């Protein structure tokens, strides 16, 4: 059955880069750097942009800072590719406020995370998401990341929401249970937009009919992440598989500490940002930073430092 959301559903596919929030040395948001990072993504073929999701350190931002990051992003994108910011929170009223702000500024969709820390039960999750979805008229992407939230949205809950809320059009599944994600498509409909948030499942998700990925690795290697999706869409399965395995070592090292700490360390080594995270987050250990540096050299992202 066709809906008024079909047009954006056709565009909201491929690599949606979850762009980090760059900070200055003093901890202030660096909006100029944020714009540069978004331009870097667009120049390298990224299909859509998200901000203030997990990679954007939303819990370290004030509510108004989240809105400012979103506003700067949509101004920079200027309609060139879709924009789907993360608007969810552990606080229901904040989620409502930020999601409505996303709608007001013209975002193409909003990504709403399963509330973290407070672990609502399935009925409470349904009520939270339905209330948010009913309050706006833009597409909603459910963000299910049990490793961060300590609560998994069950397939039956997601399917119920999809049935009752026409603007819930997809989900970012950061769920290592591949049986679960298969059942999401089975129960929510094959046209449901299923995005992988687990880097090693980005390619397998395409094979079962997924719409793409929202991968933190795209911050560092946007071109190859986007190319994997392009190759799949063009029917070049071998190329897509090759890129999947080519990216694996980079994916691994970028998740040896809590995201986005390794990503920010890598972008700092690449000279793209000041590698600053707001407390309580911090940079990876010296040993891991050295491993990240060696990996970036192997991927041709930086040059090897000559030994003295």
Q: Report the binding-site residues for pyruvate.
A: 55, 214
Specify the residue for token string 């190319």: 227
Specify the residue for token string 């003295």: 308
CA distance 66 to 262: 22
Which parts are annotated binding residues? 55, 214
CA distance 226 to 204: 15
CA distance 32 to 36: 6
Of the residues 143, 203, 224, 264, only one is catalytic, namely 143
The β-bridge partners of 195 are 172, 212
Catalytic site includes residue 172: yes
Of the residues 101, 172, 224, 264, only one is catalytic, namely 172
Neighbours of 7 (CB within 10 A): 11
Catalytic site includes residue 299: no
Query: Measured on CA atoms in the order 209, 17, 40, 262, is the torsion positive or negative?
Result: negative
Catalytic residue positions, numbered: 143, 172
């Amino acid at each position: 059955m066709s809906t008024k959301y079909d047009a954006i559903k056709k565009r909201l596919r491929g690599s949606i880069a979850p762009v980090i929030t760059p900070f200055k040395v003093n901890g202030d948001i660096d909006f100029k750097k944020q714009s540069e990072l978004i331009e870097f993504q667009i120049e390298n073929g990224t299909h859509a942009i998200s901000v203030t999701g997990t990679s954007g350190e939303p819990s370290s931002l004030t509510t108004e800072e989240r809105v400012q990051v979103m506003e700067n992003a949509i101004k920079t994108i200027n309609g060139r590719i879709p924009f789907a910011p993360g608007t969810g929170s552990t606080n229901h009223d904040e989620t409502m406020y930020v999601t409505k702000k996303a709608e007001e500024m013209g975002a193409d969709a909003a990504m709403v995370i399963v509330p973290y820390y407070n672990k609502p039960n399935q009925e409470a999750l349904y009520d939270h998401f339905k209330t948010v979805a009913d309050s706006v008229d833009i597409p909603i992407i459910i963000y299910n990341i049990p490793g961060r939230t300590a609560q998994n949205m069950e397939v039956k809950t997601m399917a119920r929401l999809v049935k009752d809320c026409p603007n819930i059009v997809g989900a970012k599944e950061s769920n290592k249970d591949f049986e679960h994600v298969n059942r999401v498509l089975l129960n929510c409909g094959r046209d449901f937009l299923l995005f992988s948030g687990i880097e090693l499942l980005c390619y397998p998700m395409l094979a079962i009919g997924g719409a793409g990925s929202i991968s933190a690795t795209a911050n560092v290697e946007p071109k190859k992440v986007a190319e994997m999706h392009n190759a799949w869409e063009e029917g070049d399965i071998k190329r897509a598989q090759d890129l999947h395995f080519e990216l694996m070592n980079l994916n691994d090292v970028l998740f040896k500490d809590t995201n986005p700490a390794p990503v920010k360390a890598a972008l700092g080594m690449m000279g793209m940002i000041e590698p600053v995270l707001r407390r309580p987050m911090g940079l990876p250990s010296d040993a891991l930073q050295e491993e990240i540096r060696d990996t970036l050299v192997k991927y041709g992202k930086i040059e090897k430092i000559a030994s003295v």
